[in-house]
Amino acid sequence: MPGASRLLRRMRRVARRLGALAGCCLFVSACWALGGVVAFLLAHGGGGFFTGRCTDEQSHRILARLCLDYRKGALTGDLCEDLCVAQKLIYRRCLYYDRGKKVIQADWRGRPVILKSKNGVFSSYHPLDFLDEMEPQGFPEAELFMMVALEIKNVLGLELPNNTVGPLWTKKRGPHWKAQLASMWSLLQQEEYIYFSVLQDFSKHVLKVIGSCGHFYAVEYLTAGHAWHKTLFSVEDAVGASFSGIKNKAKAITEIAISFLDMVNHFDNDFSHPLHLCDIKPENFAIRNDLTVVAIDVDMAFFEPKMRDILEQNCTGDQDCNFFDCFSKCDLRSRRCGAERANNNLQVICDKIFRPWFSMNLRGSDISFPLQLQLQKAVRECAQPRTKDAIQHQHNFPDSLSKLYHLLQASQKELQKSGSYLHQIQL
């Protein structure tokens, strides 16, 4: 997709500039603090701070235009009738508008959902030019299937089995076939939609897609993490007030941490290629009410083949090989970044998620002090590997994962013995 390629090139340039400023600690700290404030305001509908970018009035205009296009027959989807006619999909608030991306909270038949689209207007997506002249039966089904498969391959950077591609494209041909195909094509131009749709039948760690209307798709509503929250994730919102005490906080943290390890192991081993997360921060994850960790923003997630293409760039030093949270090494002889990632998902999660958790949040719990110290040490070693060699670091990965699993399971046993741990969370 040309737009995606241009975006990646721009992101690489930004990442390199940021890498050159890595030594300016005061600047980075200020940006981090400002980012926290901005994220807070966005998560709460802008609070009047971004009134020009995320307002109820603007959101209502976007949804009204979506419904106008639906009534004109330009687009369709299984949620259009509930949104535009039956009033069973009801707007609540805007959550996030940035560079065209729209994220809106709504209620669907009494259930909270999130509506997402990379652009607010249907016409901003590249159309299928042949649709205006084509009769429903005039375009061979096999060619449609191939076209969809190529678009998905371009986004993900890998081939998919035919049974994986099938659910993402329209097979039914009828009076609204052109609107169905145009709507499907607008969704296929959104990388995040493809990831969620492809992975939802294979992974409990990604958001579930509920339905769509034109270029907007609905996913399950979950409360995102927050960097300024003491435990990063509001367990009370997910599970209930029963998890508000110190002891309950400790068992929630161990459950969530084990789920993070499950997710890392799953993304590394259970697909045809590892899935790399290049933007790891609490705001990009959420927890379900059973404390399963879910990736809710995968705009910066890449399977191995595409990851190698992104990393393998010209360089004059290692700082040029930093692509957000994904790093490689610069070969000064060839002046090319290595295609193999030098760090991994677990290392970044240990650094950005586990390190703040285990530095303070287990104090006062029934986890023994020696075990708390072991956990803190294991997290530090995981976040700061002793070797800079990418291949050796990958060999160290199973040891770090295994050690953290062992220590967290030991924590669960201590909590269970103290009577403060529920093996089966009662919801």
**What are 148-177's pLDDT values in tens digits?**
888 888 888 877 766 666 556 555 556 688
Distance (Å) of CA 272 to CA 83, 203, 220? 38, 13, 26
The Cα diameter of the chain in Å comes to 73
User: 161-187 b/e with 16+ CB inside 10 Å = b?
Assistant: eeebbeebbbeebeeebbbbbbbbbbb
User: Can you list the alpha helix ranges (DSSP code H) found in 141-245?
Assistant: 141-156, 162-165, 177-188, 191-199, 235-238
Q: Is residue 312 part of a domain?
A: yes
Residue type, 321: C
Rounded to the nearest angstrom, the gap between the alpha carbon of residue 219 and the centroid of all alpha carbons in its chain is: 12
**Number of structural domains the chain divides into:** 2
Return d(Cα 299, Cα 195) in angstroms, integer: 9
Instruction: State whether 399 and 276 are in the same domain.
Output: yes
Q: Is residue 44 part of a domain?
A: no
Quote the tokens at residue 119: 């652009």
Query: Quick one: pLDDT at residue 24?
Result: 36
Beta-bridge partners for 176: none
Q: φ, ψ for residue 94 (rounded to 5)?
A: -90, 140
* 298 contacts 192 by C-beta, under 8 angstroms: yes
Which residues make Cβ contacts (< 8 Å) with residue 259, sequence separation at least 6?
205, 287, 291, 292, 293
Q: Is residue 422 part of a domain?
A: no
Instruction: State whether 214 and 247 are in the same domain.
Output: no
Would you say the pTM of this structure is higher than 0.85? no
Return d(Cα 221, Cα 57) in angstroms, integer: 22
Query: Quick one: pLDDT at residue 323?
Result: 97
* 131 contacts 178 by C-beta, under 8 angstroms: yes
Q: Is residue 260 part of a domain?
A: yes
Query: Quick one: pLDDT at residue 72?
Result: 96
Residue type, 369: F
Return d(Cα 299, Cα 278) in angstroms, integer: 9
Instruction: State whether 116 and 214 are in the same domain.
Output: yes
Looking at 178, 193, 221, which one is the last position of a domain?
A: 221
CATH number of the domain to which 294 belongs: 1.10.510
The continuous run of DSSP H or E covering 101 comes out as strand 101-108
Return d(Cα 23, Cα 388) in angstroms, integer: 19
- What domain range includes position 143? 50-221
pLDDT under 50: residue ranges of the chain: 1-12, 14-52, 386-387, 390, 421-427
